[in-house]
Amino acid sequence: MNEPSLVILAAGMGSRFGGLKQITPIGDNGELIIDFSIYDALRAGFKKVVFIIKEENEADFERLIGSKVRPFAEVQYCYQSMTDIPPDQSAPEGRTKPWGTGHAALCCRSVVDGPFAVINSDDYYGPQAFQLLYDYLSTAKDDELAHYAMVGYRLGNTLTENGSVSRGVCEENEEHFLTCITERTKIEGRGSVAVFKEEDGEQELSLDTVVSMNMWAFTASALEALQQEFELFFAQKVLMDPMKAEFYLPSAVDAMIKAGKADVKVLRSPDKWYGVTYKEDKESVGAAMKNLKVNGTYPQELWKR
């Protein structure tokens, strides 16, 4: 079996943050959030890193992160493009919004031919999560079903004090296989609970709710399955909402589960998530990363040979 690859979704501009937050330094030595995630992934066993980016950002990524990682792992870039669509379709005139995280993950298909993990570039996941992913991918094999996994987090560990967040709210069975995942937007902490907004008002969520942070483990079969789901999305959802419809990775996985094509094991991480969703998050995340160096989770210089 080919070695697992780490695929990093880094093509999105941070609209709420107000810039390209993926390459905004937050560590005391100028580290990006993704520095810590890649460091965790490599010590878990990953040896290949694939960045999904916009082509015009490659020089910045290579200068700030790719060049640092190359002495330790294989590094490749793939581009998320508006023109990368099913051959029998055309992009809606005037659309500039990217096709979404499911499409971004699909963009690695030219360089990934084995099992792979998918993460966001602007989320801090913690060391244990990467070990869970690597261990799963090292033994996962498909049979009559495709066998995938995701790392689930406690909702209360994934909130910011500076605004709302979007999360994939998970339901699982007694054996900890995912039965449903629903994308919820505008989730905020309210004391002992969280709330999210819907058209008919607010709904409560327990802080112990398991949520997806877009951290997945896939066998190679997922690329063909994602392509099929993307073609359905384009034929149906884009037709209904040509300017804003998005192909979310959690929604694509949910469709595979409901169609009986795959199962998804929920791997639990106790770690606290950190992320720079808003500019105001930067200071607190930087302080958290500094503390993780102080307590020995990370060395003072991540990429010192």
Q: What is the 3-state secondary structure (H, E, C) of the chain?
A: CCCCEEEEECCCCECCCCECHHHCCCCCCCCCHHHHHHHHHHHHCCCEEEEEECHHHHHHHHHHHHHHHCCCCEEEEEECCCCCCCCCCCCCCCCCCCCCHHHHHHHHHHCCCCCEEEEECCEECCHHHHHHHHHHHCCCCCCCCEEEEEEEEEHHHCCCCCCCEEEEEEEECCCCEEEEEEEEEEEEEECCEEEEEECCEEEEEECCCEEEEEEEEECCHHHHHHHHHHHHHHHHHHHHCCCCCCCCHHHHHHHHHHCCCEEEEEEECCCCCEECCCCCHHHHHHHHHHHHHHCCCCCCCCCCC
Is 40 within the bounds of a domain?
A: yes
Phi, psi angle pair for 177, to nearest 5°: -100, 140
Q: How far apart are CA 118 and CA 139, in angstroms?
A: 17
CATH number of the domain residue 19 falls in: 3.90.550.10
According to the model, what pLDDT value does residue 14 have?
47
Is 302 within the bounds of a domain?
A: no
According to the model, what pLDDT value does residue 22 have?
58
Is 285 within the bounds of a domain?
A: yes
According to the model, what pLDDT value does residue 19 have?
53
Count structural domains, the chain.
1
Q: Give the pLDDT of the chain (305 residues) as one tens digit per residue.
A: 689 999 999 987 544 444 555 567 888 888 989 999 999 999 999 999 999 998 988 888 898 899 999 999 999 999 999 999 998 888 899 998 899 999 999 999 999 999 999 999 989 999 999 999 999 999 999 999 999 999 999 999 999 988 899 898 999 999 999 999 888 888 999 999 999 988 778 899 999 999 999 999 999 999 999 999 999 999 999 989 999 999 999 889 999 999 999 999 999 999 999 988 888 888 899 999 999 999 999 999 999 87
Is 304 within the bounds of a domain?
A: no
According to the model, what pLDDT value does residue 15 have?
46
Is 270 within the bounds of a domain?
A: yes
Is 299 within the bounds of a domain?
A: no
According to the model, what pLDDT value does residue 297 have?
96
Could you list the residue range(s) of the whole structural domain that residue 277 is in?
A: 5-294
According to the model, what pLDDT value does residue 64 have?
86
Is 138 within the bounds of a domain?
A: yes
According to the model, what pLDDT value does residue 90 have?
87
According to the model, what pLDDT value does residue 23 have?
65
